[in-house]
């Protein structure tokens, strides 16, 4: 007997679209950091873990081999809205002084997370800080912040999949969905 799969929300961005875009981003990042052999990545947990895994390997393919460490931050949020208060849960251990750093996050929303991460890196002496996000929701910005490398610009909708969660669910989906659109 065939079991019907449950109704799933339609995919906003497919796994193959994401993979193609990541290879473009990797080439651009490699070109931008070419000549700075000591550049490093700080990825913001938790949401960026899937993106970083694919971006890191795409960078390897184009010949870039940065050191990689993580910064865990959390915003106190209801299921879909951030309260605006951000806490550093785990600081990176990698020395960043006088180095070119690329911050990697899943999504740029209000801008608070990346603005704080940027400030932390500068305080610890990073020579330059650029940022790369898979998704950008410019309509939601509270703090003016622009990422240097953006995968996809999306409308003001709460999304999940590919590392992004709704109450800890959907992180393992290969593409991006709008969970409210089922």
Kindly list the residues in this chain that would bind Mg ion in the complex (CB under 5 A). 47
Q: Supply 163's token pair.
A: 């590392």
Residue 110 binds which one of ligand IMP, Mg ion, none, with CB within 5 to 8 A depending on kind?
ligand IMP
Closest separation in Å from C-beta 40 to ligand IMP: 19
Cβ-based nearer residue to ligand IMP, 22 or 173: 173
Nearest to 91 by CA among 132, 130, 50, 119: 119
The residues, ordered by sequence, that sit 6+ positions from 77 with a Cβ below 8 Å of its Cβ are 83
**109 given a catalytic annotation:** yes
What string of DSSP letters covers 110-135?
SSHHHHHHHHHHHHTT-SEEEEEEEE
Contact (Cβ atoms closer than 8 angstroms) between residue 177 and residue 159: yes
Closest separation in Å from C-beta 140 to ligand IMP: 7
Residue 151 binds which one of ligand IMP, Mg ion, none, with CB within 5 to 8 A depending on kind?
none
CA–CA gap between residue 157 and residue 160 (Å, rounded): 10
Identified catalytic residue from 109, 136, 139, 165: 109
CA–CA gap between residue 77 and residue 115 (Å, rounded): 17
Closest separation in Å from C-beta 139 to ligand IMP: 12
Cβ-based nearer residue to ligand IMP, 126 or 164: 164
Closest separation in Å from C-beta 37 to ligand IMP: 29
Interface positions with ligand IMP (CB under 6 A): 44, 47, 75, 82, 105-113, 158-160, 164
CA–CA gap between residue 127 and residue 44 (Å, rounded): 19
Residue 49 binds which one of Mg ion, ligand IMP, none, with CB within 5 to 8 A depending on kind?
none
Instruction: Report, as residue numbers or ranges, the catalytic residues.
Output: 109
């Amino acid at each position: 007997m065939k079991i019907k799969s449950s109704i799933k929300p339609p995919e906003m961005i497919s796994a193959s679209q994401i993979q193609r875009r990541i290879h473009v981003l990797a080439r651009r990042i490699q070109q931008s950091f070419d000549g700075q052999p000591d550049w490093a990545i700080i990825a913001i947990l938790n949401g960026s873990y899937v993106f970083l895994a694919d971006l890191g390997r795409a960078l390897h393919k184009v010949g870039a081999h940065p050191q990689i460490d993580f910064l865990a931050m959390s915003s106190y949020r209801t299921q879909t809205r951030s309260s605006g208060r951000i806490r550093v849960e785990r600081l990176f251990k990698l020395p960043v002084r006088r180095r070119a750093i690329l911050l990697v996050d899943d999504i740029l929303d209000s801008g608070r997370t990346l603005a704080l991460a940027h400030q932390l890196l500068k305080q610890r002496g990073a020579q330059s800080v650029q940022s790369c996000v898979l998704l950008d929701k410019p309509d939601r910005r509270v703090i003016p912040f622009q990422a240097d490398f953006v995968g996809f610009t999306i409308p003001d909708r709460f999304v999940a999949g590919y590392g992004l969660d709704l109450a800890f669910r959907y992180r393992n989906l290969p593409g991006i969905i709008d969970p409210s659109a089922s």
